[in-house]
Amino acid sequence: MQGTIVTIDVTVGQQVRRGQQLMLIESMKMHHSIDATVDGSIDALVVQVGATVMEHAVVAVVLPGEVTVAAVVEEAAEDPAHIRADLAEVVARHDIGLDPARPDAVAKRRTVGRRTARENVADLVDPDSFVEYGPVVIAPQRRRRPVDDLIARTPADGMIGGLGTVNGRSIVALSYDYTVLAGTQGGQNHRKKDRLFELAESLRLPVVFFTEGGGGRPGDTDMMGVSGLDCLAFMYFAELSGLVPIVGINAGYCFAGNAAILGCCDVVIATADSNIGMGGPAMIEGGGLGVFDPHEIGPMHVQQANGVVDIAVPDEAAAVAAAKQYLGYFQGATQEWSCADQRELRHVIPEDRKRSYDVHAVIQGLFDTGSVLELRRDFGLGMVTAFARVEGRPVGVVANNPGHLAGAIDSDGADKAARFLQLCDAFDIPVVTLVDTPGMMVGPEIEKTALVRHCSRLFVTGANISVPLVSIVLRKSYGLGAQAMMGGSTKAPHACVAWPTGEFGGMGLEGAVRLGYRNELAAIDDPDERERTFQQMVDRMYEVGKAVNVASHFEIDDVIDPADTRRWISAILASAPATPARTGKKRPNIDTW
C-alpha cells in the first residue's frame, strides 16, 4: 500500500523475530503494522518517521539469523474474559435499561399487578432467542433534559423491539414500556417501529405487539417538523395486514395511537384490566366532551361485547400463552395430537329436532384435544369462529350457534364470520363450517342493522376464498343463511356432508307450510284439526327435506355417521395441493372489522 510512516519501533542492530512489528504506516487514516518476515537483526532502516512511501518500497533490511530468547519480549496472550474500557461502557449502557437497574419502576408495575415490558417479551420468545434493536436509544428531549437523566429515565425511548423465535420460528416482537413516559409514542420509538416493521415485511415475519400506553407524546424536542403527521409507522404497520400474521396484546390503558396500532392487528388479545380507546381522558377533555376517569373509557365488558377484543384473558401470562397458541396455527402442522372418542358425537345433537344444544360441545369433541382457540366469543353470539386442528393440521372453524336466535345469521354474526374467512384465506388455512341455521334473521328490527349489506359480506367473502372448504350440516340447513355458510351453495365446498339429523329447505319447514298452504289451513274451521293438519304437512316436508333424501338427489355429497366426520375433513386436507411459497400478499389486506 501507499502511505506515511508514523512510527519506527526498532533500531539498527536490534534482534527481531518473524512477525514482530517494525514500524507503522498510515494509509487513508488507518494504521497498519509492517512486520519482520524472518528471524534476524535490523541491518538498515531506509525510511524515517514522516516519510511517504509507495507500494513495493523498501523500508528496512533484516539480516536472517538466529536470535536469543531474551532478545525479544513475547507478547502476553489476551484474556478472553477481560472487559476493555470501550466494551465496559457499552455493557453499562445496556444494563441501565434492564429491570434489575430500575427497581422503582419494577415496583410500580407490581403495585398494579402487571409485569414489565421486558418480562412480557421474555415470556413470549424462546429462551435466549431475542435480539434487541435500539436498546440504548433515549427519548429525543436533549433540548430540555440532561443526557444522563434521559439515559437513566427513558431507556429505549419507551419501546422494546427486536427479533426472536416462538415455537422455534422467527417473529418480530415489540412492546411499549409503560414505565417510560407512560408508554407514549416518542420520536425515536416511532423510528424503531419503522425499522422493525420493514424487517417484518422484508423477512416475512409475524409481528406480536404489546400495546399498553397513552398514545402520542407531546414533549419531545429534538425532532424536525411541526405536526408529526408524516410519521411512517402507522402506514408501515397497516401495510403488513394480509402479508404476515400480526398479533396485538394489551394490558392496562391503551389510548389514541397505541389503540390505533392495536386495532390494525389481525387478533386482539386483552387482559381483564384493559381499557382501550381511540382517545384518552386528556383528549376527551381537550375536545370539550367532559371529564372522565380512564377506567370509564373502553373497559373490557364493552370491548368484548362489541367485537374489539378477540381473546379475553385474565392476565399477561395468559395473554402470552394465547399469542403462542395463535401463532402456532400459522406455523404448520404438529406431529403429536389426540382426540375424543368420535362415537360421542352421535349423541351431541338431540333427537328432538326442536331441542337446542351447545355447539361448543360439537367443536370440542370433533377437533384435536386442546387445539381449539375461539375468537370474539362475546360478540356476534349467533356465530362461532375458532382455530383448531385435525390430526395436527390447522383449520379455521365457522359454526352457527343454535343457542342464539336458533342459529339465524344477524349482522354481527355475518361480519364476524366474513372477517374470519378473510383471515383464514389470507394465510392459506383451510376452513370447516358447521351448519345449523334457519337462515338469515328477519324482521323490521334486524333490518335497522343494515342486514342486507352485512349478510351479503358473507356471500361475497365466502364465494371468493381459495382455501379448502368443508361444510358439515349438523341440523338445519335452510335458505340463504345455509348457502352463505357454504360459500354460496352446497356444491361450493370441496365436501358438503350432513349428519343424520340434517334437514334442508329453501326456508324453515314451519314457515314454508304456513306460507305455501295458507289458504288450505285457513279453510279448516276447527283449530285442533287445523293444527293437526299443519303438523302433518310439516312432517311430510321434513321427510322430503331430511338429509338422506337430499343426499339421494345428490344435492349434498353424503349423509355420514358423525364419528366419520374427521375422516372426511382429513381426506380433503390431505388431498389439497401444497401451499405455494408466496412473494407477496394473497389478499390486499384483512378487514379490521
Distance between CA 437 and CA 432 in Å, rounded?
A: 15
Query: How does residue 76 score in pLDDT terms, banded at 50, 70 and 90?
Result: low
The 10s digit of each residue's pLDDT in 329-371 is 999 999 999 999 999 999 999 999 889 999 999 999 999 999 9
Estimate the crossing angle of helix 527-545 against helix 509-516, to 10 degrees: 120
* 170 touches 205 (CB < 8 A): yes
Distance between CA 188 and CA 155 in Å, rounded?
A: 11
* Averaged pLDDT of the chain: 93
Residue with cell 358473507: 458
* 387 touches 404 (CB < 8 A): no
Determine phi and psi for 189, rounding to 5 degrees.
-75, -25
pLDDT at 71 over 50: no
Distance between CA 478 and CA 29 in Å, rounded?
A: 82
For the residues 307-331, what does the mean pLDDT come to? 98
For the residues 216-239, what does the mean pLDDT come to? 84
User: Per-residue DSSP letters for 471-508?
Assistant: EEEEEEEEHHHHHHHTTSSTTSSSEEEE-TT-EEESS-
pLDDT at 383: 98
CATH number assigned to the domain with residue range 87-329, chosen from the 4 options 1.10.1740.10, 3.10.180.10, 3.40.80.10, 3.90.226.10: 3.90.226.10
All three cell numbers of 187: 420520536
- State the SS3 of 267-314: EEEEECCCEEECCCHHHHHHCCCCCCCHHHCCEHHHHHHCCCCCEEEC
For the residues 110-127, what does the mean pLDDT come to? 96
pTM of the model: 0.89
The 10s digit of each residue's pLDDT in 389-438 is 999 999 999 999 999 999 999 999 999 999 999 999 999 999 999 999 99
70 vs 188, more confident = 188
Distance between CA 43 and CA 14 in Å, rounded?
A: 8
Residue with cell 412480557: 120
All three cell numbers of 403: 343457542
pLDDT at 314 over 60: yes
The 10s digit of each residue's pLDDT in 501-559 is 999 987 777 777 777 778 888 888 888 888 888 888 777 878 888 999 999 999 999 99
The 10s digit of each residue's pLDDT in 462-488 is 999 999 999 999 999 999 999 999 999
> Percent of the chain scored above 70 by pLDDT?
98
Q: Which has the closest alpha carbon to 383: 302, 464, 454?
A: 454
The 10s digit of each residue's pLDDT in 250-278 is 999 999 999 999 999 999 999 999 999 99
pLDDT at 221: 85
For the residues 50-61, what does the mean pLDDT come to? 95
Overall fold of domain 342-502+546-575: 2-enoyl-CoA Hydratase; Chain A, domain 1 (3.90.226)
CATH number assigned to the domain with residue range 3-71, chosen from the 4 options 1.10.3720.10, 2.130.10.10, 1.10.10.10, 2.40.50.100: 2.40.50.100
**CB neighbour list of residue 473: distance below 8 Å, 6 or more residues apart:** 435, 436, 482, 496, 497, 498, 499, 502, 504, 547, 556
Task: For 193-218, give one letter per residue: b (16+ CB within 10 A) or e.
Answer: bbebbebbbeeebbbbbbbbbbbbbe
Helix (H) or strand (E) holding 158: none
Helix (H) or strand (E) holding 44: strand 40-45
Query: How does residue 74 score in pLDDT terms, banded at 50, 70 and 90?
Result: low
For the residues 20-33, what does the mean pLDDT come to? 96
